[in-house]
């Protein structure tokens, strides 16, 4: 099969940065969304039991950060040299640490354990990361790294709706630099076009 | 300050792939190891509250995967094109997923929760990942990607001792391709030289 096919749950989350990068690059793709109840039958067909999976000309790749970086290079949004690329990679992996900390609490099925995680997460971890991201954006002229747009900004903003959903509040609310970055990236014409036409929902 | 200074706990874990990459590149570095009781005073001095931190000519960077990729490019171990780089990035991020799954159980302080995590981890998750890594190495001619050595292999093997420590057994034991990769990477002269002189311990 030639072309691009993204397989993911019918949500934004980790599929969305890949959708945004392909939209930015004007790449046409099949946006295949399966329902939760299909997951047990789809899981064994994926390379490593996880989605999103992107088929590129019949070859399947996975890992949202790796795929976004790949498209970032094609879009000339991966830094002008190894140092700039490092700056992007560092902040994106730190954003993943943050997402995982939030997810550890959000997805905890045991109510007592979840309750125990809640206070340190919401009172310490979340403000710590958001303040750091906010000041990082301020120090980098409105972007996460290198004073210019990178695939890292697109990854961050594309995933922010999912983080907001887990947190139950908008992480832009109290952080003006995060807010400005989110607005700026969402206003990029090709990305805005995607946001306007994508299926509703988180 | 010019030169390289790595700040980390007195263990291998996530500091070790950076030490291996610098050893491979013949980069001299200060291997600053602090004790657990120093961590509360060191933590606030780090850029994002985490270690390892590597100072490169006075600039501090963090995130072991991002730093290893940076050195991988310098060592010509990051793939010949964007596709090869993607293959390396995908498998390294998947290895991180595996490490985090093991760590979630290993670091759980509540004994009842830990007990509950143990069976699915050791009977399902761990064999699933190890079989996949083993077959991936087999399919890639003895390496994790692209049929040749990459920084991903060095990252994987440098971190494997830490994973083995958490698991309580050697992940090479039942997987011959993982075992062969570990032996091959550890025998690279510059890396062997580091292993022979590094401080004892996990």
Task: Give B115-135 pLDDT, tens digit per residue.
Answer: 999 999 999 999 999 999 999
Cβ atoms of B4 and B56 closer than 8 Å: yes
| Least Cα separation, residue A57 to chain B (angstroms) | 12
Mean pLDDT of chain B: 97
Is A112 touching B (CB cutoff 8 A)?
A: no
Q: Which residue has the tokens 């990082």?
A: A136
A117's enclosing H/E stretch is: helix A111-120
Cβ atoms of A156 and A181 closer than 8 Å: yes
Q: What is the mean pLDDT of residues B63-89?
A: 98
Residue A48: which of B67, B104, B132 has the nearest Cβ?
A: B132
| Least Cα separation, residue B86 to chain A (angstroms) | 6
Q: What integer pLDDT is reported at residue A1 of this predicted model? A: 58
Residues A137, A134: Cα–Cα separation, whole Å:
5
What is the tens place of the pLDDT at every residue in B151-175? Answer: 999 999 999 999 999 999 999 999 9
Are A94 and B70 within 8 A, CB to CB?
no
Q: What integer pLDDT is reported at residue A134 of this predicted model? A: 98
Residues B73, B68: Cα–Cα separation, whole Å:
9
- CB burial of residue B84 (10 Å; 0-12, 13-18, 19+): middle
Alpha helices in B16-57 (DSSP H): 16-24, 39-42
Q: What integer pLDDT is reported at residue A5 of this predicted model? A: 98
Cβ atoms of A162 and A11 closer than 8 Å: yes
Cβ atoms of B2 and B169 closer than 8 Å: no
Is B198 touching A (CB cutoff 8 A)?
A: no
Residue B89: which of A48, A49, A63 has the nearest Cβ?
A: A63
Residues B187, B169: Cα–Cα separation, whole Å:
21
Residues B121, B129: Cα–Cα separation, whole Å:
10
Residues of A in contact with B124 (CB under 8 A): none
| Least Cα separation, residue B157 to chain A (angstroms) | 20
Tens digits of pLDDT across chain A (202 residues) = 579 999 999 999 999 999 999 999 999 999 999 999 999 999 999 999 999 999 999 999 999 999 999 999 999 999 999 999 999 999 999 999 999 999 999 999 989 989 999 999 999 999 999 999 999 999 999 999 999 999 999 999 999 999 999 999 999 999 999 999 999 999 999 999 999 999 988 8
Cβ atoms of B175 and B130 closer than 8 Å: yes
Structural domains present in chain B = 4-75+190-197 (3.40.30.10), 82-187 (1.20.1050.10)
Residues of B in contact with A70 (CB under 8 A): 82-83, 85-86, 89
Residue A62: which of B63, B82, B90 has the nearest Cβ?
A: B90
Which of B68, B70, B133 would you mutate first to test chain A, the one with the most A CBs within 10 A? Answer: B70
pTM for this model (two decimals): 0.97
Residues of B in contact with A134 (CB under 8 A): none
Question: Tokens for B177?
Answer: 């391709």
N-terminal to C-terminal alpha carbon distance within chain A: 30
Band of the pLDDT at B1, cuts 50, 70, 90? Answer: low
Q: What integer pLDDT is reported at residue A36 of this predicted model? A: 95
Q: What integer pLDDT is reported at residue A84 of this predicted model? A: 98
pLDDT at residue B75 is higher than 80: yes
Residues of B in contact with A49 (CB under 8 A): 128, 132
Are B63 and A94 within 8 A, CB to CB?
yes
Is A78 touching B (CB cutoff 8 A)?
A: no
Residues of B in contact with A86 (CB under 8 A): 61, 66-67, 69-70
E strand segments, A9-149: 29-33, 53-56, 59-62
Band of the pLDDT at B5, cuts 50, 70, 90? Answer: very high
Band of the pLDDT at B202, cuts 50, 70, 90? Answer: confident
Angle at which helices B16-24 and B64-74 pack, to 10 degrees?
10
Q: Which residues contact A143 (CB under 8 A, 6 or more apart)?
A: A137, A149, A150, A153, A181
Tell me what ipTM this predicted complex has.
0.97
Residue B199 DSSP label? P
Is A45 touching B (CB cutoff 8 A)?
A: no
CA B98 to chain centre: 12
Grouping H, G, I as helix, E, B as strand and the rest as coil, residue B76 is coil
Which of A44, A82, A101 would you mutate first to test chain B, the one with the most B CBs within 10 A? Answer: A82
Peptide linkage before A176 cis (omega within 30 of 0): no
Is A42 touching B (CB cutoff 8 A)?
A: no
Is A111 touching B (CB cutoff 8 A)?
A: no
Are A63 and B90 within 8 A, CB to CB?
yes
């Amino acid at each position: 099969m030639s072309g691009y096919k993204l397989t993911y749950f019918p949500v934004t989350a980790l599929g969305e940065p890949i959708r945004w990068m392909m939209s930015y690059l004007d790449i046409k793709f099949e946006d295949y969304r399966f329902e939760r109840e299909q997951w047990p039958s789809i899981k064994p067909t994926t390379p490593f039991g996880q989605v999103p999976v992107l088929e590129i000309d019949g070859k399947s790749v996975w890992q949202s950060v790796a795929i976004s970086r790949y498209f970032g290079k094609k879009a000339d949004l991966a830094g002008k040299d190894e140092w700039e690329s490092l700056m992007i990679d560092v902040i994106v992996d730190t954003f993943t640490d943050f997402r995982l900390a939030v997810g550890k609490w959000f997805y905890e099925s045991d109510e007592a354990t979840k309750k125990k995680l809640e206070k340190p997460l919401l009172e310490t971890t979340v403000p710590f990361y958001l303040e750091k991201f906010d000041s990082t954006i301020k120090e980098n002229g409105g972007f996460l790294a290198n004073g210019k747009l990178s695939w890292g900004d697109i990854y961050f903003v594309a995933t922010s709706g999912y983080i907001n959903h887990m947190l139950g509040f908008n992480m832009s609310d109290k952080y003006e630099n995060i807010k400005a970055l989110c607005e700026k990236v969402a206003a990029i014409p090709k990305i805005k076009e995607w946001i306007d036409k994508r299926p509703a929902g988180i």
